[in-house]
Structure 1
């Protein structure tokens, strides 16, 4: 089940942080409600609240730059962006991204179909020969991510997948429940879309990552401590409640 990472230890003491650079902390990211929600004034959401709090505690201003997810990863690789949030850990990304030692949120992977059409998907093997929509450059779980035999249809955003699913352009999609369930509820799609019986049962841990080519990379100890502080103080759970409601 999705939820807040539970931090059992409380960090005592106070650490004075010296900013690694005079420039703002540049966050490269894309829309992914409720973590990043597009609006007239730019991006808001759980991740933006979280990253603003992180930036404040590491003595940096936050600059949010919206771009496609794949381009954001490239920006982390070449150092033109400093940080990303909502990152699932992958070895290939760790070559150019330093992950914090504690995830700040947990989700799980799920598959979705049109209402009444997904009950036959009960095992991983049932995915064979069924077109599965997914978001390009996303990490779900190893078996799916590395399976080149599956018929996969890649798009830029989950909202596009949901539209394709509702209109019958794909029979199945994969997503992260903490994001897809939110959109289904927000858009009133629960009567049109169902979660299929098969669930891989994995945990999708969301991390803050710092580009290894960013001057802020030398402050990883402070980033690690700040993430643990914000979890222990209940900041993340309180922010999540604003978007999901008290039951989150």
Structure 2
């Protein structure tokens, strides 16, 4: 996923290391910190028993910021608010971000960080529902009398967004969700399911095989996600250091190793 062409690995890696060291030596801000936005969403971001932040996206962001010579400052911020704060320069680095035209107005992109997907999460009893398209999804929602859940400010693909914008029947089947009650609503039969990255469900089932939710085969989008760096708070020199750090992490396999560690 993150590997470079084998014929150029060695030379490119040494060139990146040299460039990185030169940038570090030229910078007077090597001890400054950058704020990294996280949520509370296992296994992407969570606090361990010692109240320290861990998780797939936490490790990747911390690795990037530290490799660039900054001190990472991990801050828990709700997603919608974090986008506003990044626009205003109140938070420096967002993790696990889809590229959109609007976000590109206020974010620089570094990556890809990794690849992600948005799949339908349902109860075990509904794991075999015949859903392979958005039309099938609407048909099942109408048949069962249940809506499906979506999260605000999360990208589910162009077709999905267009249906929400222009198709009143499709929009009537969707319910906007906020917070950890998503799972409960599905388990209690108040929602057909919701769309999310499957990592947390797979992790929960690994810990508890009897867990009531599963990942349905229907996926609306699969694409790379990126580090988003605030244009309002991060200078050109700081951005350059982050870009070189990213290339270094790719070249030595660090990002790939973190990704494998959290694969379920």
TM-score range, shorter chain: 0.7 to 0.9
- 1:152 alignment partner in structure 2: 174
Unaligned segments of structure 2, at least 5 residues: 142-146
Provide Cα deviations, 1:207-242, integer angstroms capped at 9, x if missing partner.
111101013454333322322221231212322343
- 2:58 alignment partner in structure 1: 48
Equivalent residues, number: 238
TM-score (norm 2): 0.79
Structure with a larger share of its residues in helix: 2
TM-score (norm 1): 0.84
Q: Does structure 2 retain, via aligned residues, the 8 Å contact 1:30–1:36?
A: yes
1:88 aligns to 2:98 (yes or no): yes
Q: Secondary structure at the match of 2:96?
A: strand
How many angstroms does 1:112 deviate by? 2.1
Provide Cα deviations, 1:60-106, integer angstroms capped at 9, x if missing partner.
11111101111111110100111111111111111111111x30211
Q: Does structure 2 retain, via aligned residues, the 8 Å contact 1:88–1:139?
A: yes
Unaligned segments of structure 1, at least 5 residues: none
Which of 175, 182, 198 is 2:218 aligned to? Answer: 198
Q: Secondary structure at the match of 2:175?
A: strand
How many angstroms does 1:182 deviate by? 2.6
1:228 aligns to 2:233 (yes or no): no
What does residue range 1-248 of structure 1 map to in structure 2 within 5 Å? 4-8=1-5, 10=9, 11=12, 12-13=14-15, 14-15=18-19, 16-17=22-23, 18=27, 23-39=32-48, 40-100=50-110, 102-118=111-127, 119-128=129-138, 130=141, 131-148=147-164, 149=168, 150=170, 151-157=173-179, 159-188=180-209, 190=211, 192-200=212-220, 202-244=221-263
Q: Secondary structure at the match of 2:256?
A: helix
| Aligned counterparts of 2:259 and 2:54: Cα–Cα separation in 1 | 13
Q: Does structure 2 retain, via aligned residues, the 8 Å contact 1:33–1:45?
A: yes
Supply the RMSD in Å over aligned alpha carbons: 2.4
